[in-house]
Amino acid sequence: MNRNPRYDILFEPVKIGPVTAPNRFYQVPHASGMTEANPRVRSAFRETKAEGGWGVVSTGALSIHPSSDDSPLPYARLWDKNDIRSHALCCDAIHSHGALAAAELWHGGASVMNRTSRIPPYSPSGISWAATHVGFMGNLRPRIMDKKDIRDVIAWQVAAAKRAKDAGFDIVYIYAGMGYLGYEFLLEEYNHRSDEYGGSVKNRVRFVREMIESTKDAVGNTCGVALRISLEELRSKSSDSHSSEAHEVVELLSDLPDLWDVKMDSSPTDCGASRFRPECAHEPIIDFVKKVTEKPVVGVGRFTSPDTMVSQIKRGVLDLIGGARPSIADPFLPNKINQGREGDIRECIGCNICISSWHDGVPVRCTQNATAGEEWRKGWHPERFETPGSDDSILIVGGGPAGLEAGLTAARRGYQVTIADKNTQMGGRLIYETQLPGLTEWGRITDYRLNALKTMSNVNLYLDSNLGVNDILGLEHSRIGIATGAHWTKALYSSLEIAAAELNRPDVYTPDDLALGMIPEGPSLVYDFDNYYLGGVIAESLALQDINVSYATPAGHASAWTIMTNELPFVHQSLEKSGVEVYTQMLLNDFDGKKVTLSNIFTNMPKSLAIKSVIIVGLRLPNDQLYNQLMSRSSEFAQAGIKSVECIGDALAPGALVHAVYSGHEFARQLDRPPDELYLRDIPIAESPPNKVI
């Protein structure tokens, strides 16, 4: 297929100082959870994006010195010769596909705790970031930088820039965003200095200016120099001479960097989940930058539509289309547009599981793309698949996320695939959940897979097919995948923080009941110890149906785990807006149809609420009855031609959607492969003795 001419502008080269990006697709810096401990995993992950057509492929944050120590989060370093060799591996891989490699050099300033290095954090004025996330909290307050400290940081930036050049990077960053050191000098809340680095905007920008100038001197005319800057808070501040402090900062530095990489100030607003932030959410904040500078500008907005990308360029918002999450969901997004296959793009759903991976301290995971992070470890390529190891036919029972992914991957390998689902439509739990507030875009999980499956001649899809054991034994399929999902229970939560006995009453519901169309009588209580999105979304949904609803949880926040996906602040805002009363740290002890009895999990202080129905969002258990019944007749498998039967997805172990998709993908990739092949274990590159930091 040929590229649609209206997208030609996306494939124009863009000059970035002394280097030229081959097109406008720019994978902006983003965390990958792949440090020096996983150099080959990291190299393959970034290489896949270059292969997929991204003209520039960037690292995540690279620490320039041990005083920028983000442990236990998985940050990368550029401190010595071993680090140069580690990153050179990645640069070579990116260059092999004609893309530029960019290094996001980074000093975290007062926002890091230096837990491993034990160096007091650096700060313009000793002001620390007062985090509310336990994983970011610390007790060591930052030092106030003197002039020598400022000179030292600039020297560390210069040394790291030279190492980046030696490693083969084409673009080198100065980072002045997201609460890190450069940003702390720019923002008056952090910067209380009375010397030439504080006070006026002109003075507060001095440190960043000197970082840019020194970096340009260090790399000469071989590397482009980019400034990554957060503008959200600065734009909200008035200026005596400009429209805002953001306008003033950009004008003062306008043509100094070779590239402006513009973004928001905090992770929840910068990487907002689709539940709360639409595509192009950054535009109202960053739209002025191109009017102030003649240098190219890159920004993000969870762009998945090529028409939106073209609009950003033609309207003068951006020069380069930045992608972080969309580049993870589909590393081949640019190539698909270039080949006229934009309908094949595996669009990001904005669930932010990728961000939770960083908070978890592991390599990046993606709900849409099960191959993310597994390119080297397991040899999984997002667009290439091993040929079948046999002519076995595959039967998948269940057309939810796991079943659809298993069927699609097996079909792409070349197997003959049948997917049978008992419902009148496929999608599993997503049939219900995508009807809930903010979750419409999650339907892309089903849409992408079904659209692909329906075009394949080696696939049969059957709806309204409630298969039993006798049916399966008589269908003459060789490999069986049981993807029958899971069910919610009415189990309560005990003071031991485990699921307890069920509260079995007709006026007690689970999400499965609501999915069947049952409507609880108000006032209702949603009791949530699942702690992810669903309890909060159900409460919001009931409120939108004019049902008086309260929300209770034994956790310290509503939908507590969503702090990992950047959603927690907005969950509470949505519940407040919907009129949902929130009770945290609560155990649900009893319900008699008229009131619930709660007690504080720590103090046992009781509380009663007048309630007529309860929805429990807590323990899920696998729907493994069919699997167990089938295995009880395993003696009949040989006669039926069945070689294997496996549970996949929630039927094996209930989890988030990312776990179900991964399980389905793994099932299909492992067909006709040895079962003991787990993954390759990466090791650091340490061919030189550890060096002292310069």
* Active-site hit among 122, 173, 175, 180: 180
Cα separation, 370 vs 381, in Å, equals 10
Strand partners, 280: none
Nearest-Å Rg of the Cα atoms of the chain is 27
Peptide bond into 523 cis (omega under 30): yes
Look at residues 283, 288, 336, 333 and name the one whose alpha carbon lies nearest to residue 311. Answer: 283
Can 180 be counted among the known catalytic residues? Answer: yes
Measured over the CA atoms of residue 602, residue 603, residue 605 and residue 606, the dihedral's sign is: positive
Distances in Å between the Cα of 230 and the Cα atoms of 187, 245, 246, 641 are 10, 12, 9, 61
CB 485 within 8 Å of CB 650? yes
CA atoms within 13 A on the CB side of 381: 13
Cα separation, 174 vs 74, in Å, equals 20
- Residue with structure tokens 């001649």? 457
Look at residues 225, 300, 305, 248 and name the one whose alpha carbon lies nearest to residue 270. Answer: 300
CB 302 within 8 Å of CB 22? no
CB 104 within 8 Å of CB 170? no
Look at residues 352, 499, 350, 526 and name the one whose alpha carbon lies nearest to residue 439. Answer: 350
Look at residues 199, 33, 211 and name the one whose alpha carbon lies nearest to residue 109. Answer: 211
Look at residues 26, 47, 43, 25 and name the one whose alpha carbon lies nearest to residue 35. Answer: 43
Residue 453 parent element (H or E) = helix 444-453
Strands (E), 248-383: 259-263, 297-299, 320-323
Alpha helix segments (H runs only) across 278-435? 283-286, 289-292, 306-314, 325-329, 333-338, 353-360, 401-413, 430-433
Strands (E), 74-207: 76-77, 100-106, 122-123, 143-144, 171-176
Structure token pair of residue 44: 């393959």
CB 176 within 8 Å of CB 122? no
DSSP characters over 196-226: TTSSSHHHHTHHHHHHHHHHHHHHTTSSEEE
- 3-state percent breakdown (helix, strand, coil) of the chain, nearest 5: 35, 20, 45
Structure token pair of residue 301: 């907005």
Distances in Å between the Cα of 651 and the Cα atoms of 138, 259, 345, 401, 422 are 40, 49, 28, 12, 15
Non-local (6+) Cβ contacts of 594 within 8 A are: 610, 611, 612
Structure token pair of residue 260: 């402006």
CB 394 within 8 Å of CB 477? yes
Q: What angle do CA 608, 609, 611 make, to 5 degrees?
A: 135
What residues are labeled active site? 180
